[in-house]
Structure formats: C-alpha cells, structure tokens
Structure 1
C-alpha cells in the first residue's frame, strides 16, 4: 500500500500553530494540504503523524473531525515517528509530506508516484536537486529503506528530517531525483513564516478552481510579479541547515 504521511505539529519555532491557521476564511492550512493530496491518483491512504505533546491534541481533534487517520509519535525524532506510523498502517511505500505544503500540486505528487511505482527505486524525490517552487516537496520511499534508516541513522539531522540518511548513504539505495523543465526553485508558497500565509491567502483568493495546480499559481505570479516579493526574504531548508550545525556538535562530542 502506498500511504501518505503528513508530519504536523503545533509547536513550530518559526510560526507556532501554523498548520491550523485558517487560510480561506473557513479551512485551516492542514485541510488544504489534505484536499490537494486527495486528488492524487496513486495515494491509497493519507495519515497525519503528530506528536504526543498535549499541544497537539488540537491536531488530533482536527483529524477526528475530518475523518483522517492520526498517529502520535516522538516530537523530535521524526524518523522514528514515520517508521512507527508506517509500520502501524502496514505501508509498503510512503510519501512524506510536511504540513507546510498547503498548496502541494497533486500532479507533481503523481509524477513522483509513477516514477517510484514503475521503477525499482528505493527513494524518489524532487528535493535533492531543487527545481520546483518551495512548497511542492515530494519524497517517496519504500518501507524497507525507511526501516534501514530507522535502524542506522545517528545524526540529529537524519532523525529530525527523516530522509537525509538516504543521500548520506547513496551506495545503499537506488535514488532518483525528478526535475521541472525550468528551475523555478526561487519561488515559494510554503508555510514557514507569517509572511508566507499572507501570500498563500492571496493566491487562494485569486484561484477559484480546485485543486490548485502549480500552473495556476505561476499564471498569477506572472501577471502580478510583485506578489513574489512578499516572502522572498526566506530561503528553503533553513531548519535543515540549523540541524547540520547540530550534527557538527554531535560529531565533536562523539569524537572527544
């Protein structure tokens, strides 16, 4: 079974509570993520994986009201949370999505899914060489690859960000990165900061078809290029780069 696991928590350091922030007057960001993913032709189940922290009881309540399966796991070791969740739901293959991706394009998801399912890859992604706008990150991997990472990952970044073990150990995995025909990775409609939600709300208000596709958003930005400036101060992977510094400290202590 190909299952999608959306990692979500209320305790974001950059934008606390963002996943339940209402972005269209009615629906929270997390609902938009789910609605976009439901348009995929390949996903057989969608699960929210949150933490056991009391503040994330709100996410559990949301999931129950929305009829979405919920799993609770470790707050910091997200790799463990994914592994335990995938094992609980008997997923043979997993799509990893973060709740930041309110407007993830199901067509991009399905491009990755078809590559993963039709080939003998352990890990298919569009993140190791970024060409898509930030907010369209897709990562497909087999349960066996996830289990190998779970049993062997030691670095803080590998445990927090789930998939770094794959590309830190490329000799162990068959990895494929798929790209857009044009590098437009400087664009972002992810939800990391309060300025991001301003742009997302504007985009949603201007696009009346559902699901929302990348081409819809690009058309808006082409006609109104000033919108791009709203959140351009922030760059992709700021949280991951912070984790890499923690890796250095971890290695230093291990060697001492």
Structure 2
C-alpha cells in the first residue's frame, strides 16, 4: 500500500496579513479550522513550517494538537516538502497551504481515490490548473518520485518558493495530468486568507453561517445566495506566483 500524506505549508511572516493562520475566529485560530477540515479526509497530516523563531508558535500549535511538524528553510519551500516527505516515508503527497481554513477534506479524499485508480507515479492531479473551484479549496496530488525530481532539478527562486512549478509546467516532459473540476466555474470566489478583507469574509462565514460544517458545494451555494458576502473581498487580486 502506498503511504499518502497531506503536507500543509505555514509561516507567521505573511507579507499582507502577518500571523494570519493563528488569528482567532470564535475563539479558535484559523489553523485549527484548517486542520479539522483536512482531518476529515482520513489522511495523515503534516505541518511544514520554517526554522525561524517567528514560527515557534506554529511548532507549539502542532505539539499541542499531536500534529507532526517539519521545520525547514523559509524560502526553499520545495526543500521543506522534500524533507518532510522523506522523513515520513510518504509515497504520495497532497500539497495544501495553511491560509485555506475551509478546505474540504472529503473533496481531497475523493481526489486521492481518483489518483489511486490511475496507478501512475507520473501523474499530477489537482484542481488548480483548470480552475473551477473557489480559491481556498486548492490541492495538488503527486508522487514522491515527481517531488524528488523537482527537488533535484528545479533551479529558480520561484520554483523553490512555489514548490510545484517544475512539475506542473512539465519541465521533464514526462508528467501526465488529471484535473478535478466542477460543472460551473466559481473560481472568482475567494475563500483563502491573504488580506484583512479575506479574513473578514471567513469570519462572517464561520460566525454567521457555521461554514466549518459545510462541504465545498454547500459553501459555494451559500456564496451564490449571498452576493454581499462575495463582495467583501471580490476586489482582492491574488498574489502572482
């Protein structure tokens, strides 16, 4: 049996909203919602943060929640993933980012089943290349083989910081692709937290609509019914990779 694991990258020194992953909503840090949602996938979860003292609170969070934490380079996030995957002997990695507190663990579990059915270590499966889901539901599934290949051959600062460009740009020429999509495009919605406006939307969703109990499709339906919520952060531009 292949060993699957979700690796979530996190750090406290976000440029636009520092400390965002430990900001509180309903008395709980955003990271707590993120972890609980991912644990619904049934997959092991690992937190990949940096060796910086500023990220000691994240390591403490992991210890308090029995969550394995790997600490590695701040800017070479690709190395952080490679080290974490190697340390835990993962065969297949699900990559997510910790600024997505409403990720759907069940959606990820379905994607992993799709990946397993393909039985192809050269496969990159994601919902990010052909975007139909809101930002904030992003995940990528790929083999340790592809991760190691990227680790050894990716050279640019952007490659190392953003982890998967070497893979999803198919620099080796031998990567195959599958895309997880939904029938209607709702990629304009933002359920990721990068700014104060993003945080306000998530706060409203959690405090007023119990969003932590809703799946991806239920959350999308909620946003469709409430354009005033969508408007809170509709003007925010995603940072370029």
TM-score range relative to shorter protein:
over 0.9
Greater helix share, 1 or 2?
A: 1
Contact kept? 1:133, 1:185, Cα under 8 Å: yes
> Matched residues in 2 for 1:192 and 1:180: separation?
24
Q: What is the TM-score with the length of structure 1 in the denominator?
A: 0.88
> Matched residues in 2 for 1:163 and 1:61: separation?
28
Contact kept? 1:120, 1:174, Cα under 8 Å: no
Moved more, 201-210 or 180-189: 201-210
Instruction: Tell me which residue corresponds to 1:68.
Output: 67
Instruction: Tell me which residue corresponds to 2:204.
Output: 202
**Does the alignment pair 1:31 with 2:62?**
no
Structure-to-structure mapping, 1:6-17, within 5 angstroms:
6-17=8-19
Give the deviation of 1:78 after TM superposition. 0.4
> Matched residues in 2 for 1:223 and 1:166: separation?
37
Give the deviation of 1:117 after TM superposition. 1.3
Instruction: Tell me which residue corresponds to 1:154.
Output: 155
Instruction: Tell me which residue corresponds to 1:167.
Output: 168
**Does the alignment pair 1:58 with 2:60?**
no
Q: What is the TM-score with the length of structure 2 in the denominator?
A: 0.93
Per-residue CA deviation, residues 196-223 of structure 1 (Å, 9 max, x unaligned), is: 1100011112333754312332233233
* Count of residue pairs brought into register by the alignment: 236
Give the deviation of 1:111 after TM superposition. 2.6
- Structure 1 stretches of 4+ moved >6 Å: none
Give the deviation of 1:129 after TM superposition. 1.3
Structure-to-structure mapping, 1:206-217, within 5 angstroms:
206-208=208-210, 210-217=212-219
> Matched residues in 1 for 2:86 and 2:194: separation?
29
Instruction: Tell me which residue corresponds to 1:101.
Output: 100
> Matched residues in 1 for 2:176 and 2:221: separation?
36
Give the deviation of 1:107 after TM superposition. 2.7
Contact kept? 2:102, 2:212, Cα under 8 Å: no
Unpaired runs of 5+ in structure 2? Answer: none
